[in-house]
Structure 1
Amino acid sequence: MEAEVKREMARQLQSKIDAMQGLGKRSERQQRNALSPFGSAFPGGVFPMAAIHEFISYEPSDAASTSGFMTALVGKFMQEGSLCLWIGNGTKIYPSGLGHFGLKPDRIVFIDAPTAKLALWIIEEALKCEALSAVVGEIKELGFTESRRLQLAVERSGVPGFIHRYRPQAENIVACTARWKITALPGNTVDGLPGMGHSCWDIQLLKVRNGKPDSWQVSWSGNNFAPIIEKHIVPQQERNVG
């Protein structure tokens, strides 16, 4: 009995610590916008908003997929009339294409900083602004001290931050809540017909604080994430039998 009491006390203490770090808290926006299936990997089954999500990519195709996936996530957080700041140093985003992922380009303020150092400072200041729905930052290198400052800013404001690091020198330790890698998959067309099809991604959640790393293969269809279901293709000779 004493051991059970201690385990329950430890569980309650961990829940309080998670809540202080923006984990396990379900906000009103999350009630309206489900982020299935990704929430299951996080404490309490809740996708954390008051958190820094780090994304790492190395190939141009994966960088484009990462931008698409981040945009889809941000679109789920956006409230009517709210704004998102997209900050980078030489960003190559095509604003009109963001509408495909459910985020209207007129709800985004793009800031192209002249240096990476200034971009990082703008990201930190933006994360302190509670009027924003989300902040996206494109920076190559991020140290532990800098990442800790970003995480603390998010925990105070509750504004989610998405940091995309393209071709960093190393996948160093940072204070971010989660680390993701997004890889492009062949487009999912309707009924196997030729064409571009829906955007498809291999989602790797490599690290997550107090959670469980996981992976998913999803497509973006109808402004929602949909699991990719492999279809069994019957060979021609089998179809002709009988």
Structure 2
Amino acid sequence: MTGTERTDLLARLRAQIARIEHGRGEGASLSAFWPLGVPQVDRHLGGGLPRGTVHEVTGRGGDTALAALPARFVAHILGLAPGPVAWIGGGFDLYGPGLVRAGVDPGRLLCIAAEAGDRLAVCEDALHSRGVVAVVAELDGALSLTASRRLQLAAEAAGVTGFLIRRSSRPDDPALLQPTACATRWRIGPLPSGAVLAAYPTVPGVGVAHWSVDLLRHRGGRPASWIMEVGDAPHRLALAAVPAGRTAAAATRGAAGPAAGHAVA
């Protein structure tokens, strides 16, 4: 993508944002934190995710390449605060009903298609736009410390929150663990389902979805791990109940730290 093409793209993006803002009016000033809606996690973070910073989310195992759970996790966070969001990706196979289940009105999203090699530059430009509350970018492969610092500086300058959904074809790709300047780093993985859903009491295997949610890095804070139940809006995420015979540390390990083309589901 050339500089002229990026300029034209940003001009169209700003025009869309202006139309959205005109339709909904200016809201109250934003708080310093973006909550996750899980009290125990928000307390651990000191109030939630700090706004005007960049946050990184990766999958685990077979989902490292698809990043379906990280996309659902980010959509859950977006659903807890209003405002237009720029989502930068490739072929765009975001699933509208899945976004609604996460609490996100698809009409809030300004979807920007960009080649993999252009997404960092487009993300940085979008973070400089004060008309959006958040920018989501799907990134493949390595992310250098210098590039992540540029994104962080852009987010701080405009007060826009960034979410990087990082993917790799290798589940054990060491590039996903290299240092970055992101304020928080998350890893989301699937776990066996919980209790059978009341709506499907006789269907084997249909239970409440469970995730392993690892906070790998928290600038100024501690890493942690939680087991969460995943529901639909407005309930969304919650700490999982601890099965009989297991300790509370199995569902939340805040003190010990973490254990050593997608659709939003």
TM-score (norm 1): 0.74
Mapping of 1:1-242 within 5 angstroms?
27-28=30-31, 34-42=37-45, 44-61=46-63, 63-77=67-81, 79=82, 82-113=83-114, 115-140=115-140, 141-167=142-168, 170=175, 171-188=177-194, 189-190=196-197, 193=201, 194=203, 196-221=206-231, 222-224=233-235, 225-232=237-244
164-173 vs 199-208, which moves further? 164-173
Shift of 1:60: 4.3
Secondary structure of 1:161's counterpart equals strand
Pair 1:143–1:110, CA change in 2 (3 A): same
Distance in 2, matches of 1:208 and 1:32, equals 15
Secondary structure of 2:221's counterpart equals coil
- 1:113-149 Cα shifts (integer Å, max 9, x gaps): 1x22311111111111222121111011311111001
Shift of 1:27: 4.3
Q: Which has the larger radius of gyration?
A: 1
Secondary structure of 2:133's counterpart equals strand
Secondary structure of 2:160's counterpart equals coil
Distance in 1, matches of 2:98 and 2:47, equals 31
Distance in 2, matches of 1:186 and 1:120, equals 35
Higher helix share: 1
Pair 1:197–1:61, CA change in 2 (3 A): farther
Aligned residues: 203
User: Do the aligned partners of 1:143 and 1:174 also contact (CA within 8 Å) in 2?
Assistant: yes
User: Do the aligned partners of 1:38 and 1:47 also contact (CA within 8 Å) in 2?
Assistant: no
Shift of 1:186: 2.8
221-230 vs 149-158, which moves further? 221-230
- 1:81-131 Cα shifts (integer Å, max 9, x gaps): x21111123444223321111111121122221x22311111111111222
Shift of 1:211: 0.7
Pair 1:199–1:158, CA change in 2 (3 A): farther
Secondary structure of 1:187's counterpart equals coil
User: Do the aligned partners of 2:59 and 2:69 also contact (CA within 8 Å) in 1?
Assistant: no
**What runs of 5+ residues in structure 2 fail to find an aligned partner?**
1-28, 246-265
TM-score (norm 2): 0.68
User: Do the aligned partners of 2:87 and 2:109 also contact (CA within 8 Å) in 1?
Assistant: yes
Distance in 2, matches of 1:157 and 1:71, equals 21
Identity %: 32
**What runs of 5+ residues in structure 1 fail to find an aligned partner?**
1-25, 234-242
